[in-house]
Structure 1
């Protein structure tokens, strides 16, 4: 079984050409060739999202000069944005049809992959490559026995809503009894994705056994994500409507 693959991403927010005081026909610089900033290696295990804002000059040839970080939630995000922006090429600003230099401000938003966010919340590497075929649950000496059953965290954005969700998750239980490579099989609302995966990854089982030896095995489980002290009853669907009726 292969580990789930996610990608860390970045977004470029509004491109802002800083105003200049000129009387005449003026056009702002426009990006022609862009390079995607890489999510910093040093922050991968943190699972952090972040932003970096740069100012720089687009010269008459459309090249970037004097780039500076004006704001960064983490220094590494600023460094990554600086490395990328030096490779950008622009159509230069013009005044009365002639190219001119102009100062520009540009924010970059970085988003950690769901995989890295999950690893950070659980405190260990949850997704990994497994070079053997996991044993099916029905082929084990006995069904997996739960040792620790943590509660899935509730999404802060839904605090006070009373909403809950029942999420079907497929996992691989390792010879150490820990859960690896959780994969959601059935879920209605994406906001419950990370909480459900965190809940599943926190389970600990007695080591699954096949012919008396500990093995990797596949296992399907149900994770409830709910608010309050009382878990939903077995007869409930866990799919109550959102406040807006959706």
Structure 2
């Protein structure tokens, strides 16, 4: 009988997001058998009226899960110089369509990062599949700066209220698979898991079953200084 160990999540001190695809296969960007998703159609990102009226410029970044049909399955604001920029970008991206990521020629679910820079001369949006760091200067100098909260900044560590164990497909249950998978994800103010992705995995099948399981987990709603927040954390799974 294979055992699965998953300790309570780790606090994220430096937040990074990666985009391995999860379907029946998993591949890292940059390898020969992986082609990242591409933007196919997009609606304009509207400049928030009040910020434009005050001649305020800035940026926003969102994390997007693109499904196998090229639709944005989930969108979460990662950070923004002003919350209104984040909401504007997320609202627009939910209407976009993509060419799905391809792994060995087959469509696969993936996770990407979209950034919009809001300038009075125009708005420019770019997509990346690389890891990134938050804008540290804005974080410390801009009182309006918004970002996901880290677990170590919350009033208390979220507790799992619903837990689903990873389940192997029938054809894989006799295989001797061992290794560790590191999943990072966001908990929303309702305690739901959002935009989960693989940070590190020693086996693509282990990664797939861990990712499918954590999407069903639920937690006590995260709060910071008494206010509901979105929180970003990391969950290790050890299969042995």
Q: TM bucket by the smaller chain? A: 0.3 to 0.5
Q: Which has the greater radius of gyration? A: 1
TM norm structure 2: 0.39
Greater strand percent: which structure? Answer: 2
- TM-score computed with the length of structure 1 as normaliser: 0.38
